[in-house]
């Protein structure tokens, strides 16, 4: 079973800065079937990125994804106050469609 490890566990930044979140897979993720989600307290997750680098509908272009194989990155440019949340990656190439443990992005 592929394990997804996200780092850092917590990232403290200020609005206007750039956030770089990492998701590392224990084995290669086929066809870059890797997604990123944002979750705020009391809400369901929201799809941000699919196919490692494609933005979902309505997602601002300050969110970008990159990577392939075992190493993936979510970058958020010019952080807005509403971007502070928990972010998860998920593989969806083969079952089990596991999630990473999450990165909490908090205001510094």
Partner 1 sequence: QVQLVQSGDEMKKPGASVKVSCKASGYTFTTYGMSWVRQAPGQGLEWMGWITTYNGRTKYAQSLQGRVTITTDTSTSTVYMELRGLTSDDTAVYYCARTLPPDYWGQGTLVTVSS
87 near partner 1, rule: CB under 8 A: no
Instruction: Tell me the CA distances in angstroms from 58 to 49, 55, 65, one per residue in order.
Output: 11, 8, 15
Work out which of 2, 13, 22, 47 binds partner 1, going by CB under 8 A: 47
- By CB under 8 A, is residue 56 in contact with partner 1? yes
> Which C-beta is closer to partner 1: that of 1 or that of 61?
1
Task: Write the CA distances from 48 to 26, 66, 99, integer angstroms.
Answer: 22, 13, 14
44 binds partner 1 (CB under 8 A): yes
| Tokens of residue 11, six digits | 């990232």
Are 108 and 12 spatial neighbours (Cβ–Cβ below 8 Å)? yes
- Identify which range of 14-22, 24-32, 43-51, 61-69 contacts partner 1 by CB under 8 A: 43-51
Nearest 10 degrees: Cα torsion 89, 28, 64, 99:
0
Query: Taking CB under 8 A as the rule, does residue 70 contact partner 1?
Result: no
Binding site for partner 1 (CB under 8 A): 1, 33, 35, 37, 39, 44-47, 50, 56-57, 88, 90, 92, 95-102
């Amino acid at each position: 079973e592929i394990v997804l490890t996200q780092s850092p566990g917590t990232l403290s930044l200020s609005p206007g800065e750039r956030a770089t979140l990492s998701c590392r897979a224990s084995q290669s993720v086929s066809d870059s079937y890797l997604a990123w989600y944002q979750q705020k307290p009391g809400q369901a997750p929201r799809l941000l990125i699919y196919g490692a680098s494609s933005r979902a509908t309505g997602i601002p272009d300050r969110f970008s994804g990159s990577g392939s194989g075992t190493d993936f990155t979510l970058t958020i440019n010019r952080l807005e106050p509403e971007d502070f949340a928990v972010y998860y990656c998920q593989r969806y190439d083969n079952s089990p469609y596991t999630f990473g443990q999450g990165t909490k992005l908090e205001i510094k």
